[in-house]
Structure 1
């Protein structure tokens, strides 16, 4: 039935006013649109600030909302049927990889959707986000124009069979930042993100540059139109460098070893600033009354008594009778005793 519609629409194509747009959409969608206004609105960016006859904003945001919901349902249906027996977590993760904004942005660029977007030259939104939003809006337009089955055929035949390998996407690690965080925590390596610069491109869109720092060792830098995107790119390149450059891994773990060594060193006692000054001072011994025990009263009495006795003996040895004005003549016995004493002394 769809081929019959395409055949009729192809006959009508030379008589249509917007032949170029019809042809471009046919190459993207695989069929000719019926209601071209839906697709034109899907490619109309909000930066133009157009309004319809009722004064309401005329852009692709409402179709983007609808297409986002339809895309989740269609891709969820495809993933559920393709990976039979897989758990809910695996199916959810695979679907999120297929419908995430980065994937849709690459699809929009690959399929030529971004070239058809009508936008303001002063738009501050990066093309990858505009492309992803326009892709979702196109899905919303397909749903309103052709129905759910047309959306399913578009995703199966035009996307998954020709552009995206669903098996590779399912088993491919996309969250590089989460992967690097897991590796750093497992190996107890300090991980930091350093903002190198923030500039603007020719469309005044903000551009961020972040660099990965592992244990103080500089890793790779990544550029993106958001902090998340730039950090993801930096993590992706750093993971590849860790796998390909053993010297880089060695430098990271060498820095880690140095850090842990410093943290494990014991804390020494704080030195006394006056210790050196005291080394120059020679302390003199001080004598106090406590160094000499005081005699007891009984001992004092004994000392006094002994002193009196020695004094009495001294008085007995030294008699006044021995002192005479003229020397006394020695007896014969005293002379003999002195002579014997002198002889023995020699």
Structure 2
């Protein structure tokens, strides 16, 4: 407690000045070590070289924040949904911490106005701002500890900008749903990375296809392999649900392959090689 009061006294001359005010508006509290928060908003395109030759940006804090956020959200949904099973909890957590959600939250918090970057790319799909939000959570954890980091996630992110009950009712992870369907039907599903390239803003783009029994069922493009797989899985899953002709075609193809497999298996089985007494070269007793 005394340590906290001492830190508060040290901050008194700085409160009301930038950048403390900007961070206070987002966080709801004043930082102790503001350098951590400034680094959290430093995109790799604007990396700073230190005197010892090291380059710093927000990537290390993003790594830490990603792990802390996972733990915090798991903590929250575990207590929020007391009687739900592990699969449900995992699905809710994945929807809250996914890049699209974090990017949306970062924009609503105004983090995009504070991120320092030299890139000309401003499209939200790059997830630059969502990554900065994760880095900011890493900075909060180092500066204030787990309890304050959890309060920020719950009070500033979930309560103000997310309805956790609404999130729970949203469609589940499409890739997981498609894999569950394939396992239940015993039908093979695979994800094939078709292409990867850099767009006009020098951002990486990935293109993925979903193959069901070797036939293309969905295409998806995104700024990460995971995002492209999710979009392709969504297209394939919806196609299976809504396109009766396509679904019947897949089941017919599966049946044909099963028949072909059975016939092939029967052909390769060795013939009965039991030797009758008449064919034996041994003299009878």
Shared topology, TM-score over 0.5? yes
* Alignment match of 1:239 (pick from 237, 240, 245): 237
CA contact (8 A) 2:91 2:172 kept: no
Q: Secondary structure at the match of 1:203?
A: coil
CA contact (8 A) 1:63 1:138 kept: yes
Give distance in 1, aligned partners of 2:257 and 2:67. Answer: 50
Give TM-score scaled by structure 1 length: 0.59
Return the offset for 1:158: 1.5
The Cα RMSD (Å) is 3.8
Listed as ranges, the gaps of 5+ residues in structure 2 are: 1-7, 268-285
Matched, 1:82 2:80: yes
Structure 1 segments of 4 or more deviating over 6 A? Answer: none
Return the offset for 1:43: 0.2
Describe the shift of the 1:228–1:93 C-alpha distance in structure 2 as closer, same or farther (beyond 3 A).
closer
Q: Which moved more, 1:61-70 or 1:40-49?
A: 61-70
Return the offset for 1:111: 3.2
CA contact (8 A) 1:106 1:128 kept: no
Q: Secondary structure at the match of 2:177?
A: helix
The CA deviation string for residues 13-64 of structure 1, in whole angstroms up to 9 with x for no partner, is 4xx355xx844x4453344556543322110123333123444333223433
Return the offset for 1:183: 1.3
**When the two structures are aligned, how many residues end up with a matched partner?**
254
Describe the shift of the 1:63–1:231 C-alpha distance in structure 2 as closer, same or farther (beyond 3 A).
closer
Q: Secondary structure at the match of 1:189?
A: coil
Q: Which moved more, 1:167-176 or 1:246-255?
A: 167-176
User: More relative contact order in 1 or in 2 (CA 8 Å, sep 6+)?
Assistant: 2
Q: Which moved more, 1:51-60 or 1:88-97?
A: 88-97
Give distance in 2, aligned partners of 1:96 and 1:119. Answer: 28
* Alignment match of 2:140 (pick from 119, 139, 142): 142
Q: Secondary structure at the match of 2:160?
A: coil
Matched, 1:121 2:119: yes
Give TM-score scaled by structure 2 length: 0.70
The CA deviation string for residues 262-284 of structure 1, in whole angstroms up to 9 with x for no partner, is 455589x9xxxxxxxxxxxxxxx
Return the offset for 1:222: 0.5
- Residue 189 of structure 1 corresponds to which residue in structure 2? 187
Describe the shift of the 1:103–1:174 C-alpha distance in structure 2 as closer, same or farther (beyond 3 A).
farther
Return the offset for 1:145: 4.5
Kindly name which structure, 1 or 2, has the bigger radius of gyration based on alpha carbons: 1
Matched, 1:132 2:135: no
Return the offset for 1:244: 1.9
The CA deviation string for residues 302-338 of structure 1, in whole angstroms up to 9 with x for no partner, is xxxxxxxxxxxxxxxxxxxxxxxxxxxxxxxxxxxxx
Give distance in 1, aligned partners of 2:77 and 2:191. Answer: 35
Q: Secondary structure at the match of 2:200?
A: coil
Q: Which moved more, 1:45-54 or 1:97-106?
A: 97-106
- Residue 153 of structure 1 corresponds to which residue in structure 2? 151
- Residue 254 of structure 1 corresponds to which residue in structure 2? 252
